[in-house]
Structure 1
Amino acid sequence: MSGLSRDDVAHVATLARIHLNDDELDTMAGQLDQIVEWVGQISEVAAADVPPMSHPLPLTNVTRPDEVRECLSAEEALSGAPASEEDRFAVPRILDED
């Protein structure tokens, strides 16, 4: 058992800028301790002859090759836009920051 303490969880929460109250810290300490224990069990089962993988089936990249082709000019792309400015789409500001 890893023995994650309530203080460990509080420290990680502070680093992540997550505010947890006392009850949440107690709950999270137990839950995270269980998760770390389960990961440890999985690590024990993993055999040295099994290579690490991101997917159980072999995958092949099925994307098309990247080829240079003709594309719309800025004027054509912006022709249907309700508003444009300096060859860009003009949209309402959502943040009050400069």
Structure 2
Amino acid sequence: MSIEQKDIAKVATLARLAISTEEIDDTTDRINKVLNLVDQLQAADTDSIAPMAHPLDAVQRLRADSVTETNNRDGFQAIAPATEDGLYLVPKVID
């Protein structure tokens, strides 16, 4: 795949960019180099390669799933302005 100078000029016009003829030439060359690189990468055979989440086969250490704090709900609700049946009462916000 390649891109032409008229395509760069059209995109510049649509983007409201002022671009000179020299810049169009340079931009066209650079974009074509990138597109050639993409074509090379797409040509690589990756059918027998398994996808991986991380290049290193590192395993995350997990902490024990245990309670580390005590339940302080009764203490917090004791200082709350209004509670009922273990719930906090708040003013109505939506009519």
TM-score, normalised relative to structure 2:
0.46
TM-score, normalised relative to structure 1:
0.45
Q: Which has the larger radius of gyration?
A: 2
